Amino acid sequence: MSDLILHGYWRSSASYRVRIALALKGVDYAQVTHDLRSGAQRAPDYRALAPQGLVPALVAGDTVLTQSGAILEWIEARWPQPPLLPADPGDAAIVRAMAGIIACDIHPLGNLRILQALRQDFGASEDQVSGWIARWIGDGFTALETLVARHCGRFAFGDSPSFADCRIVPQLYNARRFGVDLTPFPRLCAVDAAACALPAFAAAHPDRQPDADI
């Protein structure tokens, strides 16, 4: 039995990021699923573990880690090879900035609880919700496309996967789910294709998780 337990959900893009990082590092872990559609993440026993009632949470012995960005930083410190951040501080800051566009400025505006609030609290139609999603993904991807074009090799920054790719691939998965037009973002799509050809990214894909309902 693995010493690491990842609490997540197959289609959660934040959980997907962590699965990618663990797979790239070759780290074994067990999974516990919380179906976000049924509100399982708000159950008292899970909130005792992760007070926000959000996934993912990573349990490592007596340590409980929440927030995917913090979890990725911990993984990088615990298993430095292969590195997911460049050694140069300036380059590492650029990778973190790419990752932050997704983690801070795109994903929070399109996650399930926000979309539910738009529908339930403001009476938004499905067309309006789709427009909302496309707006914020499009704005973020426009900036990210420029940064990736400036710094990419095979991947978002140079020729090795980084924190940026751990976030870009799940966000593109979300964009496709919601029917967002990706033709304005050829660099992001090329990075996604290169990453998804790697076994680690393929193993982390939502459709390959034990709780996937496909």
The pLDDT of 42-69, averaged and rounded, is: 96
Q: Is 150 helix (H, G, I), strand (E, B) or coil?
A: helix
* pTM for this predicted structure: 0.96
Tens of pLDDT along 5-16?
A: 999 999 999 999
d(CA 18, CA 32): 14
- What is the per-residue pLDDT for 1? 45
Which CATH architecture describes the domain 89-200? Up-down Bundle (1.20)
* pLDDT per residue as tens digits for the range 144-177: 999 999 999 999 999 999 999 999 999 999 999 9
Which residues of the chain form beta strands (DSSP E)? Answer: 4-8, 30-33, 57-60, 63-66
What is the fold, at CATH topology level, of the domain defined by 4-82? Glutaredoxin (3.40.30)
Residue 75 has pLDDT above 60, yes or no: yes
Query: What pLDDT, on the 0 to 100 scale, is given for residue 214?
Result: 55
Torsion sign across C-alpha atoms 16, 21, 24, 29: negative
Asked if residue 184 has a cis previous peptide bond (ω within 30° of 0), the answer is no
Across the range 70-83, mean pLDDT stands at 98
Q: Is the pLDDT of residue 213 over 90?
A: no
Please, where in the chain does CATH 3.40.30.10 lie? 4-82
Confidence check: pLDDT of 45 > 70: yes
Whether 213 and 36 have beta carbons less than 8 Å apart is answered as no
Report the alpha-carbon distance of residue 188 to residue 140 in Å, rounded: 12
